[in-house]
Amino acid sequence: MSNPLQQCLQEKGWSLYRLSQESGLPYATLHGYAHSTAKLAACSAATLHALALTLGVPMETFFAADDLYLPPRFAACFWDCDWKGLTAKNIPFVIARLYDRGGIPGLLFVEKNFTLEQRVAAIKSQRDFTPVCANFLAQRYALDKSEMAYYRFPKTSRRDF
């Protein structure tokens, strides 16, 4: 699959050098974005806006609808799964993991990058929280504990089998 920035440049018939001149962004930065979808996904909203404005395309052009980018600093939260293969279908799982295992940086990332509706839906549907995290989230979002999967489906102990 081709990089979305390269596709836009090809459609317009522009080079990276011309995009650099027109947008005011450094050539080296644009080269990194053109050759790495992860770098493009990690760039700031201001940079994306400058690229979209210069190329005359919406900002959404640079991402597939199913892409989900997570910074490498959160890799430890997903030690037991392929964290680079996560997609938009995995948003509730990602939110739960980042809240529970990401510490303050994970909490800030979730609250900055996911909508309130996505966060609340994840809290209500996932049960992968520690008790402390579940209580914190119930208080933070003023949720009745009966709405949360963590409290609706108690974990069984080995003695129950």
User: Could you read off the pLDDT of 19-75 as tens digits, one per residue?
Assistant: 999 999 999 999 998 988 778 877 887 888 899 999 998 887 877 656 677 888 888
Rounded mean pLDDT, 92-113: 90
Token readout for 135 is 């209580």
67, β-bridge pairs: 87
Say if CB 63 and CB 4 are below 8 A apart: yes
Domain boundaries, the chain: 4-62, 72-160
Is residue 105 scored above 60 in pLDDT? yes
R_g of the chain computed on alpha carbons: 20
pTM of the predicted model, to two decimals? 0.60
The listed CATH number (1.10.260.40, 3.40.50.300, 2.60.40.10, 2.60.120.10) that belongs to domain 4-62:
1.10.260.40
